[in-house]
Amino acid sequence: MNKETFIFIGASGSGKGTQVALLKEELLKKDPTTPIFYLQTGQYFREFIKDDTLASRIAKDAINNGERAPDFLAMYIWSKVFVENLKGEEHLIIDGSPRSLNEARNLDIALKFFKREHPAVIYINVSRKWSFDHLMARATKEGRIDDNAESINKRIAWFDADVLPAIEKFRRDRDYDFVEVNGEQSIEAVHRDIMANVFGV
């Protein structure tokens, strides 16, 4: 099986992580010998702000103040992860990047450098209300005191202002296989749509 590259994009609460897990299962069924590298930018960023460097302290303060970290930090994090971890024979799944048009352009440069041909961009499209309701429910269930209505609305606004232009770039770029699915369905239905569009099954 050829190495595959997948970029999952969607508003917070759209179910990207759940769909990534289901896709990983499918890839392992098709070929258990090909490794899968999963880049969840948020996870690496949370690790980054635990450090005691000037950059990590500034980034942590920004997050605590409800601000979005600048693109260059996200690009630094995934660039470092790529350089240190990619071997060239693995499937690559990216979740949480890009978060802006600028970051999308730089990610495109990186993917071409690593010879990742025709990545699939999977856009899980949900409404603002769907995203808000799911994030509020998750905050209540998991006791996330930092996830309040104000902070969630800020994240949704960031998505509309910053991430949607990146999505439109991929939609128009013939170097990418762009897949848009309705995220306001059952988990199983979203998964079926992704599989049908990506693998034709």
pLDDT greater than 70 at residue 188: yes
| Nearest residue to 104 (alpha-carbon basis) of 176, 158, 179 | 176
Q: What is the pLDDT of residue 125?
A: 97
pLDDT in tens, 109-152: 999 999 999 999 999 999 999 999 988 888 888 776 667 888 88
pLDDT (tens digit, 9 = 90+) per residue, 147-168?
788 888 888 999 999 999 999 9
In what helix (H) or strand (E) does residue 23 lie, and over which residues does it extend?
Answer: helix 16-30
Give the CATH number of the domain where residue 134 resides: 3.40.50.300
pLDDT at 159: 93
Whether 198 has a pLDDT exceeding 60, the answer reads yes
H-type alpha helices, 31-159: 41-48, 54-64, 71-85, 101-113, 128-142, 149-158
Cα–Cα distance between 54 and 100 in angstroms, integer?
24
**What pLDDT is stored for residue 1 in this prediction?**
54
State the pLDDT at residue 61.
87
pLDDT digits (tens, 9 = 90+) for 33-64: 999 999 998 888 889 999 999 999 999 888 77
Q: What is the pTM of this model?
A: 0.92
pLDDT of residue 140: 82
- Asked if pLDDT for residue 2 goes beyond 80, the answer is no
Work out how many domains the chain is built from and give that number: 1
Query: pLDDT per residue over 82-115, tens digit each?
Result: 999 999 999 999 998 999 999 999 999 999 999 9
- The rounded distance, in Å, linking the Cα atoms of 126 and 145 is 24
C-alpha pair distances (Å), 155 with each of 54, 100, 123, 135:
25, 13, 17, 10
The whole domain housing 14 covers 5-199
